[in-house]
Amino acid sequence: MAEQGHRQGERAWDPLVRLTHWTIALAIVLNGFLVDGDALTHIWIGYTAAGLLALRLLWGLIGPENARFSSFPISLSAASRHIAGLTRGEHKEHRSHNPLGALMVYALWAMLLLVSVTGVMLESEPFPEHEGEYSQHDEDDDEDQGAEIIEELHEVSANLLLLLAALHVGGVVLESRLSGRNLVRPMIFGDKS
């Protein structure tokens, strides 16, 4: 849910923001719906998404103004005011994400981080997911139980990530309709339409 507070023709989203946004979105769709969770491809797509997330988070510290975290702080009260304004037909311009979009961005990043961390844990010792059946030895029972917990957390967080992504898309569509502005175009082309 992004809004841009720029004059016509100004850069709304820089190329790195757009690249990380669309590549991570593609990775979520691929791993969420198309690639088998046990496939090596799933793992490499996950590593790619995690790397791009790390790059985007770094860019939030050193990138241009619109990409920086300071341009879209977390604020529940501002998000509430934004929703109230939308229901009244008010459409305030924001230099980066609107307050509700900012909450969604941080929620998506947090969930992707959790999916990534649990995915890496499943591929690391002592939880090697792809080494076949777990040992029946007593000393391995704790590892077996730990692996099951991590795997469950990975699956739940992946499903929550998909839900958040669907809500994000729905929010962008709704905000675009209510505001009369195409919020997708700047994320594709960079310039405010």
Would you mind telling me the total number of residues written for the chain in this entry?
193
Confidence check: pLDDT of 29 > 80: yes
Q: What is the DSSP letter of 134?
A: P
Domain ranges of the chain: 15-128+144-189
Confidence check: pLDDT of 31 > 90: yes
The neighbour count for residue 82, using CB atoms within 10 Å, is: 24
Q: Are 27 and 93 in contact (CB under 8 A)?
A: no
Q: How far apart are CA 78 and CA 82, in angstroms?
A: 6
Comparing 55 with 177, which gets the higher pLDDT? 55
Confidence check: pLDDT of 15 > 90: yes
Q: How far apart are CA 175 and CA 193, in angstroms?
A: 15
Comparing 38 with 153, which gets the higher pLDDT? 153
Return the pLDDT at 162. 98
Q: Are 101 and 72 in contact (CB under 8 A)?
A: yes
**Mean pLDDT within 126-145:** 55
- Among candidate residues 146, 142, 165, the one with its CA nearest the CA of residue 154: 146
Q: Does domain 15-128+144-189 correspond to CATH entry 1.10.10.10?
A: no
Direct distance between the N- and C-terminal alpha carbons of the chain, in angstroms, rounded to an integer: 15
pLDDT band at 108, cuts 50/70/90?
very high
pTM (predicted TM-score):
0.84
pLDDT above 70: percentage of residues in the chain: 83
Return the pLDDT at 136. 45
H helices within the chain, ranges in order?
A: 15-29, 40-62, 76-87, 99-122, 141-179, 185-189
Return the pLDDT at 40. 94
